[in-house]
Amino acid sequence: MSQTKRAYLAATVAGFTIALSVITPASAYSDVLQSDCQSSKTNPTMTFDKGTAPYGNLYTYYSSAAYCGSQLMATRRKVTMKAGSGDGTSNDCTSNKGWLPNGSYTPRYEVNHQTSSTVVKGSVWNLGNKLCSAGTVTRTELFIHSQGGNGGSWTESNYKSAGCIKINQTDRTYLKSLYDQPVYGSSSTKLTVTS
């Protein structure tokens, strides 16, 4: 019996939810409950853990409504997505190659970003510009985006970027569905980038 098959059977014994996580592709997002029955909704926040260049994870924390007993209250949820930044260069002062500089950003959601670029199109989160860690280079035109317009094709190599955070098309569609809700699209999201 293969190792994958054994892992699946072991997970099935442990429970249906765990079995699903075993057979879900590694590149698919997950959306899990973090805490229940909060008194109010909060603005979404994001964290990008750069991992090992160019591959890391993008985490988005947001509020959703759910019944707690007979009362409708807020819950806190966490979305995890595989994400890439840079072309494998971990020097954040290398323009158009290095990964995103660490620090705080205020992403601005754009429903249908259009430029002459064939890559940065469709739904994006504009991160603005950022000074690199050595203070010698300002990295410009930084975004969270996918490969081309909404619904375009995707391959594993597309996670590489000129410094932006890139997520696959399926994950962008899901993140877009959250930000298309007025409560999130107009809110002030905070992004923290760490390595």
Summarize the confidence of residues 103-109 as an average pLDDT.
Answer: 95
Look up the CATH architecture of domain 28-194. Answer: Beta Barrel (2.40)
Whether the upstream peptide bond of residue 25 has omega within 30° of 0, thus cis, is no
Domain spans, the chain: 28-194
Task: Look at strands 103-105 and 190-194 and give their pairing.
Answer: antiparallel
User: Is 131 in contact with 137 (CB distance < 8 Å)?
Assistant: yes
Q: For 9-60, how does the pLDDT look when each residue is reduced to its tens digit (9 = 90+)?
A: 333 333 333 333 333 334 579 999 888 787 777 788 999 999 998 999 999 9
Task: Report pLDDT for 90.
Answer: 94
pTM of the model: 0.81
- Burial label, 51 (beta-carbon count in 10 A; 0-12, 13-18, 19+): middle
Query: What count of Cα atoms within 13 Å lies in the side-chain half-sphere of residue 96?
Result: 0
Q: How confident is the model at residue 65 (pLDDT cuts 50, 70, 90)?
A: confident
